[in-house]
Structure 1
Amino acid sequence: MTDHIQFSPEQDALVLLDQRILPCREEYFVCKHNSDTIYALQTMVVRGAPAIGVTAAYGCYLAAGEVDGADSGWKAKLEGLLKDLEDARPTAVNLRWAVELMRKAWKALPELSLAQLRAKWLEMAKEIHAQDIEINKAMGRYGAELIDDGDTVMTHCNAGALATAGYGTALGVIRGAWEQGKKIQVIANETRPFLQGARLTAYELAKDDIPVKVACDNACALLMQRGMVQKVVVGADRIAANGDAANKIGTYGVALLAKHFGIPFYVAAPASTFDLDTPTGAGIPIEDRTPKEVTHVGEHQITPDNVGVFNYAFDVTPSELIAGIVTERGVIRAPYVENIRRIIGGE
């Protein structure tokens, strides 16, 4: 599955499969302006850290189309649009990573005209798009070695093709094991309140004919207690320098249960998801999203009027609960500070 993020030369636009309405309908959302890209990111037309990064890369190109190169102030105006874009969501570091790559390319070639800069950024966005798929496949090959024939693998949220440019991070590990001929099954936690597991992970795996069952989030302890889970693999939206990993809300609880029951808990994420400037998970900002995602299922209200809710979108799993972090450069294990610095930081 790679057609959920497309650049259309005919429309000069980014075309995104609208994940808000999956699996019931497959419709596309067209981004032509910076405001479109920001809306798509904030409302979760597109979500998942690597997919957010790819979208942001194309978003820089679209933003550059909104300024007039004949205006002496076009550079300042474009920088303002880039700032708005990188601030669209706070937790997934891939968004800022992609914008910063574009910004660095611009600063390295300040003599470029606006037209030349747009052409450069479009080329870079396409490269990031293609590279992400290859990165995910590399993670799948490394991660598949952690999965045994006959395992049932639990995952939380959607870290599949839809969360990336294609193939997936956590689901890339699962796909890699399946492609090796291992007879595995998957438990997709429903992942309240946005139901990424029930709606998106199950949708992807069913398309690939990989056996999957959806479980209520609060069934994790029972399933583990009964010996129905052998491995847990999740994605990440940001990983701190010490290996603490931010992922969809509820992941920390799954990791605690896995530790209690002696089940290996793995995180799968590309090098771009590591934030070496953030020493620990305590420094990762946690997005607080609209209450309506909790108070409503679709347009149907399920809570009383005037009752507040908590809708933190992410939590942080401490590195001591993580058996290994699967990257395109191999599996990183404890001691995390040292090994992340060496493998990701190149020290």
Structure 2
Amino acid sequence: MKNIQTTSLRVANNQLLILDQQALPQQQNWLNAQSTEQLVDHILQLRVRGAPLIGLSASLLLALQAEQGMPLAQLGASMQALSASRPTAVNLMNNLARMHQAMQQTDFVSAMSIQALRLIDEDKQLCEGIAQAGLARVTPNSRLLTHCNTGGLATAGVGTALGVIRRAHEAGLIKQVWVDETRPLLQGGRLTAWELGELTIPYQLICDSMAASLMAKGEVDAVWVGADRIAANGDVANKIGTYSLAVLAKFHGIPFYVAAPSTTHDPACPNGDAIVIEQRADQEVTGVTGSFGAVQWAPIDAKVYNPAFDVTPASLISGWVLDTGVVTPAQVAAGFFQPSK
């Protein structure tokens, strides 16, 4: 396979490397992902994260395993293990379905390599399409609030919600970006803040609980978030804390936009109640672990509720910004989840 370089994925000398997103921003470590077990562990530990990036990394590994001579039966087992690693993100399932089709070809080795590379190129195009569609929704001197991380770290391209912000900044439309820290794993504080700094986009980091006071003071013009899965009726599963922001934005009369590739829409999923929500380890809430070590601040025996995602009802969303255009609430209410031409 040819060499590949994105913000957080590399293929070099037929080896898959991932940028450790748990070590950022203090350290930029590239880790090997040569086996299914390694990549699953990276995904579970959020060293690899972001719905598009998870799907792309899994596709690349399968293609490389095929090139290295892994038999079809073993490739199938590898695909099943990767599929089970993050159940909420639909991109992983979509990408693996494409790779499974490639496995059915007579020359499956070549077909899988071509498919994995095509998925990388498609993701870059999807990101650019989202950014261009969202640009029209950003007003001059905007003060935007975003949650979790939706930039180049989470995709192969410029990102989803953060891709819109990046292109809006380049167009001179951004005054300020408010960055939620995104508890409990601080993807906003560690990753989005780092990306915005690298892009020289003006930002301020806030605790998640500070968003309401900013909105009440009129300091937020719009909220932009990503999505891990969009149900047929427009309900959205995204990083925990997204639903809270949508409720706050609705109360304060602030537009709330979801930016995601059209492949994130899952017509087979009727509504948010049908989305499987991943429950994560207690230790993520009772303390913190990072490049600095580990700290425990809660009682050892504290009982924890730690869903990785929540569901935002379609009724709270101002627009679904896709690579194909913007889907409006009126279209969703009419049962037609397609952007206007």
What's the TM-score bracket when you normalise by the shorter of the two chains? over 0.9
CA distance in 1 between counterparts of 2:31 and 2:271 reads 36
Which residues of structure 2 form unaligned runs of 5+?
Answer: none
Letter in 2 for 1:58: L
SS at match of 1:162: coil
Q: TM-score scaled to structure 2, two decimals?
A: 0.93
Match 2:215 to one of 200, 218, 224: 224
Check if 1:92 corresponds to 2:96. no
Deviation at residue 184 of structure 1 after TM alignment: 2.5
SS at match of 1:187: strand
Check if 1:174 corresponds to 2:176. no
Distance 1:13 1:308, change over 3 A: same
SS at match of 1:222: helix
SS at match of 1:143: helix
Look up the match of 2:6: 2
Question: Could you give the per-residue CA deviations for residues 296-327 of structure 1, whole angstroms, max 9, x where no partner exists?
Answer: 12200010111111110000000010000111
CA distance in 1 between counterparts of 2:250 and 2:102 reads 44
Distance 1:259 1:337, change over 3 A: closer
Match 2:102 to one of 102, 105, 116: 105
SS at match of 2:168: helix
Letter in 1 for 2:332: Y
Check if 1:328 corresponds to 2:323. yes
The ranges of structure 1 where at least 4 consecutive aligned residues each deviate by more than 6 angstroms after the TM superposition are none
CA distance in 1 between counterparts of 2:259 and 2:192 reads 15
Question: Could you give the per-residue CA deviations for residues 153-191 of structure 1, whole angstroms, max 9, x where no partner exists?
Answer: 000100111111121100011012112121321001000
CA distance in 2 between counterparts of 1:61 and 1:39 reads 19
Report if the CA contact (8 A) 1:265-1:322 is conserved: yes
Check if 1:313 corresponds to 2:308. yes
Q: TM-score scaled to structure 1, two decimals?
A: 0.91
User: Which segment drifts farther, 127-136 or 242-251?
Assistant: 127-136
CA distance in 1 between counterparts of 2:221 and 2:78 reads 46
Look up the match of 2:225: 234
Look up the match of 1:71: none
Deviation at residue 106 of structure 1 after TM alignment: 2.3
CA distance in 1 between counterparts of 2:74 and 2:18 reads 26
Look up the match of 1:246: 237
Deviation at residue 339 of structure 1 after TM alignment: 6.1
Look up the match of 1:75: 72
Match 1:24 to one of 4, 17, 26: 26
Identity of aligned residues (%): 41
The 5-angstrom pairing of residues 125-144 of structure 1 reads 125-144=116-135
Deviation at residue 67 of structure 1 after TM alignment: 6.0
Distance 1:268 1:172, change over 3 A: same
Letter in 1 for 2:83: E
Report if the CA contact (8 A) 2:103-2:109 is conserved: no
Report if the CA contact (8 A) 1:34-1:63 is conserved: no
Letter in 2 for 1:181: G
Report if the CA contact (8 A) 1:233-1:266 is conserved: yes
CA distance in 1 between counterparts of 2:56 and 2:207 reads 31
CA distance in 1 between counterparts of 2:55 and 2:85 reads 12
